[in-house]
A and B are shown apart, each in its own frame.
Chain A
């Protein structure tokens, strides 16, 4: 009997070329295995023209290893890594839109903002936008606290993550180059 493996959250860090269609190529790998993507963000990395995807998925350790190899196999993907929660520093950002009049109901809102280490981004005539960075449960807590004042809008970004291991991506890429082999040799 196989022991049923436990599902955990994994953060994938994918380094890619900046190419049209790559997001699609990567996401269909999850779709095909009926895996849900919890979040996905992408931006240029520390290397020029090289993009970093941060993908969060919940799955088993053996499945994540296979999926990451499938991703790395895609042309346009330079290197793919995966990490468990303890191996990455990660954050999300959330924006909250609440009615301006809520500010004038005493000190409560100010307290809430301060206690949650959030900040006001803008004050308009009708609404205020508050920003908070943190982990999902923290941005959620602020959402719950603001609820009584009437949240007009709420949005949370995908996770961005920096892995703890000190080795640079570049060295991995160099290693791949070194391992590359030409059959004409």
Chain B
């Protein structure tokens, strides 16, 4: 196998994705670099619009075209740059070696096809499994994601399932070909609070069982501590801080990460402590502030912040941060 034990399963280098909008081209993802080791869970955190979904979609080259396109970067997966593959090779990666789970369980399943067909489909296209056998495997998968009465459910249609159940089906579908990596884009955001933890627990448990790496995208730093090994924090299309879950929880260093941390309720803090929401709004990509995109909202903003873009710098073993001001540490 091309990827050795020491090099990461996924290496993203300088990934930049542009969208054409009414006001010209915008970089929805700007020079993003990140690594994912085999079997590891990486959380990608950021406010809505920070480029998390676009990053995820670019890994599988599913950025909606023609309005969006990947303009620079490398996505090296298992030693191969996915951005250089032809269509057929790319299809062999999708749903097979890398699978994806989307944010919208209500609309991500085809309303006119049975659950059985949809869950069995990856076996059919990637392994050439005959349909009868593939349906048998689909039933086993539905059992694994704990869908009761799985045999009968194979013939059912999405509208007969609740949101939580549909997301279980999406997870089953993603697990089908035992992918080396699963990308879950806010898999629980659209769900009832009561089932959110169940779904995340299930996802974590099953990816550990199959030793798949997991990229867990979320806007909720609260879920990160429980599920992630490492964390990337995104702001306006860039990664502003990355480190182990511990680094982020105990030694958050970027002013934006710290502000995010302060805005979530934490069990280990006095519940009377007031949450501090981040003031202001995320910037519009079409009118990004010059320099550090966070500076209009940053309490630590100083001289270079409005003029130069801070680069990620190493501040610990696996801890990196893009900020000029040391006082923020």
Chain A partners chain B:
no
The chain A residues found within 8 Å of chain B, CB to CB, are none
